[in-house]
Chain A
Amino acid sequence: MSERCAVIGVGQTVAKAKREDVSIAGLVREAALAALDDAGLTFADIDAVVIGKAPDMFEGVMMPELYLAPALGAVGKPMFRVHTAGSVGGSTAIVAAHLVASGVHERVLTVAFEKQSDSDAMWALSVPQPFSAPLLAGAGGYFAPIIRAYMHRSGAPGDVGMMVAVKDRLHALKNPYAHLHLPDISLKMVEESIMLWDPLHYLESCPSSDGAAAMVIGSERAVGAATAETGRPPAWIHGMAMRSEPTMFAGRDQVNPQASRDCAADLYRQAGITNPRKDFDMAEVYVPFSWYEPMWLESLGFCDEGDGWKLTQSGATSMIENGDIPWNCSGGVLSSNPIGASGMLRFLESALQVRGLAGEHQVADARRALGQAYGGGSQFFAMWVVGAERP
C-alpha cells in the first residue's frame, strides 16, 4: 500500500539565458547539491536518482543521464530517466515520489534540467518529419490559435494576457533565482513589445533559459530524520496524478482538455480538495504563454468555465494586489523557462511555500499548494498537492 512521503530538500540554479560558467553536469550538480544540503544529506544517503528533461535534441546529447550518472552520485545506484514533453519536470517528481510511496526506496533524488544555450530548441522543434506537415512555428505558434479560441469562447477582453505577463514579472522581482527581472514592467511595455504570434506579444511569452531543479523525496522515517537534522519542515505529498490524451482528433477540446480536468479530479479526490480556490493557499501552474493563466484557472476548477479571465482581472491571482489565491509567486514559466525543469520548478515552488521557505515571495501561512505542469499539444498533465500537514 501507499506510504506517506514528503519533499525534504529542494535546490535550484539561477536561471539565465546562457549558463556558460558550467557544463551540463555542473548545472545539474549545482541544483542537486543545493537540494541535498537543504535536506541535510549527501549523495551517500540517496537510494536512487530520477532525472527528467525535455527532448534530448535541445542539447544534442542522446540520453544524457548516462553521462550524468557520476555527476549526480548515481554510480552503483538505480538511475531513471523520464521524458513526457513539457510536463516532464512534474512527471519526473511524481515518478520519484512513487519510488518512495511504493516502499521501494527511502530517499530519492530527483533532478530536471535544460541547457538550451547548448543547442537550439527552435531548431529541434522544427526538424522535418516524413509525411508530416512541418509546423515551423515553435510552441507559441502552436498555442496562439488555441488562445484565440479561448478568447472567442469566453469573451475575454484583449488585455488579460498582458495583465498576467505583468503580474508574473512583478512576482519574479521577489525571486532571486528567476531569469527575467524586469523592474519597469508595465502593461504599456508589454503592449509595445513586438507581436510574435497574435495575440501573444514578445513579453507574453516565456524566455529560453538554462537551469536545473532538484528535490529530495523521503519516506516518513526519512522526514523525521531530516527535520531533526535541519530544523526545516517537510512538504507532505497529499496527492499526485498524471493524464495523457491524443494530440488531435475531431472534436477534441484543446482549450480545456479532458485530460486536464480528469487529472485535477483524480488529484483532488486523493487530497480531499472540494473548492480549489478556498482549499489552496497558492498555486504554481505551468503558464508559458500569458493566456494560459485564465485558461488553467477554469480547467483546474478555481472558477466556473468562462470566468478565468475575470479572476485574473480582479487581481485574485496577484501577490502584489494581495489576491486570495496567488498564482506563480515565483514568477512562473513566464519568468524562467529551462524547459525540462520548468515543470519541476512548479512542484518545487509549491513545496517551498508550504514549508514556509519561499523568502520574499512567500505567501503568508501557506498550508496547502498546487503544483501543475503540462506538455505536448496541451495533452500531457502532471499535478501534485503538497501540504504542511501530514496527510
Chain B
Amino acid sequence: MSRFPELTSGSRPVGVVSFAQYDNVRREGAHNEVEMLMPVVAEVFGSIGITKDDVGFICSGSTDYLVGGPFSFVTALDAVGVWPPRAESHVEMDGAWALYEAWVLLQEGEIDAALVYCFGRSSPGDLSEILALQLDPYYLAPLWPDPTSLAALQAQALIDSGKATEADFAAVASRSRRAALSNPKAQVAYDRTTEELLAEDYEVTPLRRHALPPLTDGAAAVVLAAGEKAYEWCERPAFITGIDHRIETHSIGARDLTVSPSTTLAGEKAGVGHKGVDVAELHAPYAHQELILAEALALDEGVSRNPSGGALAANPMMSAGLIRIGESAKAIWSGQAGRAVAHATSGPCLQQNLVCVLEGV
C-alpha cells in the first residue's frame, strides 16, 4: 500500500501536519491581533518542533474592515517575524483560501512546507454594520441589510421549500453546542434539547437565538508539508486529496437560496463522493446553512457533522474556515477519521465556498 493517498486535485501530496487556534472569545480586549497571533504561531511550529526557518512560504488571510484601518495584515506579519525576508502573500479572504494559495505553490515542488495563518476580531466594531459593507455598493449596501436578516431570508426560503422546519434548525444547534462541550476552544457550548431551544424568542423570523453564530475574536494557523516532509513532522498527516472553491452571483435575488450549487461543484471537483466520509466540518454560521451544505455535498446520515461544534460554537471571522480544515486534520491525526471533508464559506448566504478533502493513510 502506498504511503500517499490517491489525489483528485494536484499531483503532489500535501498534508496538514500542524494546527493551532486562539481561545475563541467574545471580546479579546487586552491583546491586539499581533499579540493574539504570537502564541498561535509559536504553538503551530512548536508542537511539531520546527521554526519559521523550516517553511518556504507564508500566506495569511484577514480583512481590514474588522480592524478599521488599512493594511492590518502588515503589522500582523510581526507575529511571525519575517527576518531575514521571506516569500509571503496575503489574501483578503478566510484563511482557508490562504491555505489554497499555499497548496498551489507546494504543487510546483520548489518548496516543501508553508505556514498559513489568519485572524479576525468581531469585537472592535458592529459586525452587522461591517458586513453590510460587503454588499453591492450601489444597490444593496445603502439599504444596510445585516447578515442575520439575509440569512433569515434564506432560512425562510428553506422552510417554504418544505425541505426543513424550525425544529430542524434547533436540532442542528442542539447537536452542535452539545458537541462543543468537548471542544476546549469552543466559545458557546451547552446541553439543551431541541424543545428547549424552540422556546427561545425570534431574533429575526424564522431564526431564533440558537440558530445564530456567536460573535468571536480568534485566530488560527496551519502548517502544510509536502511528500516525505509531511511524515517527518507528523506520524499520520492529513493529506489534501482534493481541494476546490467556487463562487456564485452576488445578487441574492438571482439565487435559489435553498441550495448551494457552488458547494456541490467544489465538492465534485474535490472528489467528496469518491469514497466514504467519516467526518465533515462545515462552515455554517447559521444553523440552517448546515442542512443546505450537507445536501449540497450529499453527505449521508453516517457522517459525523461538526464534531467540534462548528461555527455555531465559535465563529472568528476570516478564521472559522481554516479552523474547519484544522479540526478535520485533528480527526485524521487521532485516527478518529480516515477521510474528512472540510468546508469554508464567504459572502452573504453562502455565496462563495471552498471544499477540502483530507485523508490519512
A contact set with B: CB distance below 8 Å: 1-2, 23-24, 54-70, 74-85, 91, 95, 98-99, 101-104, 118, 124-125, 127, 129-131, 241-247, 249, 257-259, 262-263, 266, 376, 379-380
Contact = CB atoms under 8 A, between A and B. Distances in A.
Given A67-B136, A124-B70, A91 B89 contact: yes
Contact of B105 (A78, A102, A243): A102
B2 interface: no
A83 B82 contact: no
B89 A84 contact: yes
Given A1-B109, A24-B137, A83 B92 contact: yes
Contacts of B74: 85, 247, 376, 379
B346 A63 contact: yes
A66 B82 contact: no
A258 B85 contact: yes
Given A55-B71, A243-B87, 11 more contacts: A60-B133, A66-B134, A80-B97, A83-B73, A95-B89, A102-B10, A102-B105, A127-B69, A241-B87, A243-B85, A257-B85
Contacts of A64: 137
A127 B68 contact: yes
Contact of A83 (B75, B90, B100, B131): B90
Contacts of A60: 133, 137
B108 A2 contact: yes
Given A60-B133, A127-B70, A129-B69, A259 B85 contact: yes
A242 B346 contact: no
Nearest to A130: B32
Interface stretch (B15-23, B196-204, B242-250): B242-250
Interface in B86-145: 86-93, 97, 100-101, 104-105, 107-110, 130-131, 133-138, 141
Interface residues on B, range: 35 or more
B70 A125 contact: yes
A174 to B, nearest CB: 34
Contacts of B105: 98, 102
A65 B123 CA distance: 24
A80 B101 contact: yes
A243 B82 CA distance: 9
B262 interface: yes
A91 B90 CA distance: 9
B77 interface: yes
Contacts of B68: 127, 129
Given A95-B89, A246-B82, A67 B135 contact: yes
Nearest to B255: A75
Contact of A78 (B10, B67, B73, B246): B246
B81 interface: yes
A367 B319 CA distance: 44
B101 A102 contact: no
B253 interface: no
Counting chain B CB atoms within 10 Å of each CB, the highest count among A78, A85, A118, A247 belongs to A78
Nearest to B71: A85
B133 A62 contact: yes
Nearest to B93: A81
B27 to A, nearest CB: 14
B251 interface: yes
Contact of A76 (B109, B246, B250, B351): B246
B63 interface: yes
Contact of B131 (A62, A124, A376): A62
Contacts of B348: 66
Contacts of B134: 61-63, 66-67
A61 B133 contact: yes
B300 interface: no
B249 A75 contact: yes
B305 to A, nearest CB: 25
A5 to B, nearest CB: 11
A249 B83 CA distance: 10
Contacts of B195: none
Nearest to A99: B104
B113 to A, nearest CB: 16
Nearest to B108: A2
Nearest to A69: B247
Contacts of B265: 76
Contacts of A54: 70
Nearest to A241: B87
B137 A83 contact: no
A104 B101 CA distance: 11
B84 interface: yes
B250 A70 contact: yes
